[in-house]
Amino acid sequence: MCGIVGYIGNKKAEPILIEGLTKLEYRGYDSAGLTILEKENFKTIKNKGRVKQLSEITSQENLVGTIGIAHTRWATHGKPSSTNSHPHNDSSNTFSIVHNGIIENYQELRKFLGENGYQFLSETDTEVIPNLIHYYFSKENEHSENTFLKAVNIATKDLKGSFAIGVLCTHFPDIMIAVRKDSPLVIGKGDGENFISSDIPAYLSFTHQFYFLKDNEFAVISKDSIDFYDTQLTKINKEISQIDWDATSAEKNGYEDFMLKEIYEQPNSIRETIGNHLSLNTPCQFDELNFSKEFLSQIHKIYIVACGTAMYAGLTAKTMLENICEINTEVDVASEFRYRNPLINKNTLCIFITQSGETADTIAALKLAKSKGATTLAVSNVEGSSITREADFVTYTHAGPEIAVASTKAYTSQITLLGILVIYFAETLGKNTKILEDMKKSILELPAKTEQLLSDITEIKNFAHEVYQVKDVFFLGRGLDYNSSVEGSLKLKEISYIHSEAFYSGELKHGPIALIEKDTLVVSVLTVQDLMDKSISNIQEVITRGAKTLIITDKILENSNFTKIIKVPETNQFLTPILSIIPLQLFAYYISKEKGLDVDKPRNLAKSVTVE
């Protein structure tokens, strides 16, 4: 949530900061602001509203400074307002900071600083940080870059909670300092210029070389150098990462919205995720894992832990793991897993799925699992992200940047990779080769079938136009079809704000059917052949009560009285959620467009949930 950017170099900082904030708008925010160091004085401009509005203000200011920080804020402490927006400066305007995260002991610190003469303008937890830095800085007899770093270091030791911080000081116009704990921060390396950011896409048009800070690491950044320090302020070496995402991946490239672009990128993101892991005539390759038969044979239980869409991808992996590998598997919400004392030991494998690699609850759950002796495996889309540094093993989807808040290509890439991972486990354990051969063939066909599915979307677009004013939508499914239903329901509520719920079809008579009335819309996914007759019977029950029905199926349904049927290509039964979700993604998208809503940036939501 929120977005930090910073720049130091030879160019005017203001337009570069505005561009960086624009690239991070997908993270969700309600206000924006920046600080430019102008002739050894801060020029801080903040505004409730969009980055575009901030840009209109700053463009009139003739800002020429070449060092600055900027921020998009999502209100936590204090309502959205210009005063509560970041950056925040200390009482003397010596320090200016941007901060992502939550300072849990801010009231205690605020009281301490108030007793020492510091005044506060905002309601935020963040404003204690620059004042605390100033407090420690002022205690030093002489002021140098080392004093600046030392003051930041001591101040952060007083902070309880999570933070990613960028700091400027008027005494040192040639450096900025960055530090993180439990909140993401990357540092981009340029030629005569350097950058800080909450996420890689902010500066892909400037650099593809990034450093990833670990918890409690500090960076002192000038235009020509980046030095790293630990909590003892001992200099440390860090490896730089080359991020090969195309800068145009963070642009719309002619599409009206990022979400639509990312829906259409799914054939390629699936193809890239398959990569060199899979071929028909050779065993699956996961060089980064290299699990042995002995190791996998000792795994008595697998936990799949994630949040939201990633968790729904895990539901499909559970079905594959239990049916193909015969390993008992549970899927858990990360925010619950970390508090319910799960039964974990050295014979447990915990798989953590997160697109960004920065999801706070998922990272905390991984740390818990490691503390209990489990083997941990992270599935992420971002190299060098926090979770990839914490996990014992890591494997990556290759979906490229996903900008729209509502996940599409990350979800289908996750199921694809998890499917290949299951084949790898099964081959290592010596499981049924006939099933695995069909799975391999079907996965390799997925990009073409996804392209086929996206080649004509007229029916789903027209149906969305017919029903977009509906107030309640219910999704039904059995087995793997439930997984598509619950993800489809999430997509709809995320971007259309229509009340939507998903149920197992067999649970309909145990309460939910009381909600069905004339013209209620019921969406059902029908791909599981063994459960087809039972599922159709459930749908007939809602039709009898006057409901409209949208059916997503890979079967030919004759003599049906369904309102609308959308056909998807057939594939291996375990992979049907990859294809059946695509019409539901499009359905949610076009419903939202019909309602005139902001598809990419739905209200109250953020792309990366980096606080609990």
Dihedral of alpha carbons 401, 404, 406, 412, sign: negative
Residue among 76, 77, 87 nearest 54 (CA): 87
Distance CA(392)–CA(365), nearest Å, equals 14
Classified as helix, coil or strand, 376 is strand
**Which stretch of DSSP H or E encloses residue 309?**
helix 308-320
Distance CA(24)–CA(3), nearest Å, equals 6
Query: What Cα–Cα distance (Å) separates residue 257 from each residue in 26, 49, 92, 164?
Result: 11, 20, 44, 29
Active-site residue 2, yes or no? yes
Q: Please, are residues 424 and 289 in contact by the beta-carbon 8 Å criterion?
A: yes
Q: What is the DSSP letter of 602?
A: -
Residue among 403, 384, 390 nearest 352 (CA): 390
Active-site residue 346, yes or no? no
Q: Please, are residues 411 and 584 in contact by the beta-carbon 8 Å criterion?
A: no
Count CB atoms within 10 A of the CB of residue 294. 8
| Residues 291-294: contacts with CB under 8 Å, at least 24 apart | 291/424, 291/425, 291/428, 292/428, 293/428, 293/429, 293/430
Give rounded-to-5 percent helix, strand, coil for the chain.
Answer: 40, 20, 40
Give the strands of the sheet with 226-229, arranged side by side: 88-89, 95-103, 161-169, 176-181, 217-221, 226-229, 235-236
Residue among 208, 191, 46, 58 nearest 124 (CA): 46
Residue whose pair of structure tokens reads 């087809």 in the numeric block: 532
Q: Please, are residues 42 and 73 in contact by the beta-carbon 8 Å criterion?
A: no
Bridge partners (DSSP) of residue 3 are 72
**Which stretch of DSSP H or E encloses residue 581?**
helix 576-594
* Residue 428 tokens, joined: 């290592």
Distance CA(182)–CA(101), nearest Å, equals 8
Distance CA(578)–CA(58), nearest Å, equals 45
Distance CA(354)–CA(600), nearest Å, equals 19
Residue among 378, 50, 88, 206 nearest 197 (CA): 206
For the stretch 20-48, what's the b/e string if a residue is b when 16 or more beta carbons lie within 10 angstroms of its beta carbon? bbbbbbbbbbbbbbbbbbbeeebbbbbbb
* Active-site hit among 43, 548, 593, 607: 607
* Active-site hit among 2, 169, 307, 350: 2
Catalytic residues: 2, 607
